[in-house]
Amino acid sequence: MEIAPNVYWLATGSVNVYLVVEAPNIVLIDASMPRQQKVILDFLGRLGYQPSDLTHILVTHADMDHVGSLAALYQATGAKILAGADSANLIAVGKSPKHMPIIVQWIIDTFMKYGAVPQAQISVFKDGDVLPFLGGLQVLATPGHTMDHFSFFSPSSGVLFAGDALNTRNGRINLTPPNITADKTAAHRSASRLLELSPAIIACGHGKPSATHTSDDLMQLFNSLRQE
């Protein structure tokens, strides 16, 4: 579904991915769970593009439900992968960052590895970088849910790709639940930073993208974060 001009939302099970289609650049934001590459490439096909037309894959963070199909997509497309330095380190060994309740973390670390991508194949971005998509896509370090987390904001279109720094499950904008948050203070600071941008469209990793919120809705959440 097109959520803004040239920006497509694809729900793959419980996690979203997004495509920015500005040929010759076609950019995927996040890479879903393992074994979702076919779903993503089929969607690209329905938009009229071949796998080899995918030029870039941006990573918000190295949780398995955001990079699970990254290696397979890289193999199938040859797209350039862009990620933060800490995410790149994790992707190179196929591990998720630590932020889960202890038992769940143990299960993930022990049983739930995803396909790794060699570090040399990943270009590293940092806070303040501007990527040449959607009229200039700002790279924002947004640690908290995980410490390697980044978000991306396009001021000209108003689209915010918030990954898991925000969440739109249950039809409202919120933070990712505290029990899967690595650092709650950092998560609040990061969410506040994103809300201050007054994004017109909030495209998160989980939940339907939000386009109908008002600035009052954003201000309310912003104020509640300051009070906690």
Q: Per the structure block, which two tokens stand in for 37?
A: 């590459």
Provide the minimum distance between the beta carbon of 124 and Zn ion in the complex, in angstroms, as a whole number: 19
| Residue closer to Zn ion (CB basis): 26 or 166 | 166
Provide the minimum distance between the beta carbon of 114 and Zn ion in the complex, in angstroms, as a whole number: 13
Provide the minimum distance between the beta carbon of 66 and Zn ion in the complex, in angstroms, as a whole number: 6
Please give the distance of CA 21 from its chain centroid, rounded to a whole number: 16
Distance of alpha carbon 113 from alpha carbon 62, whole angstroms: 11
Residues 37-76 that bind Zn ion (CB under 5 A): 63
Per-residue binder mask for Zn ion (CB under 5 A), 105-144, x = binder: ----------------------------------------
Phi-psi category of 83—alpha, beta or left, where left has phi over 0 and alpha has psi -120 to 50? Answer: beta
**DSSP per-residue codes, 95-137:** -PPS-S-HHHHHHHHHH-------GGGEEEE-TT-EESSTT-E
Q: Is residue 164 a contact point for Zn ion (CB under 5 A)?
A: yes
Binding-site size for Zn ion (CB under 5 A) equals 2
Q: Is residue 30 a contact point for Zn ion (CB under 5 A)?
A: no
- Chain contacts with Zn ion (rule: CB under 5 A): 63, 164
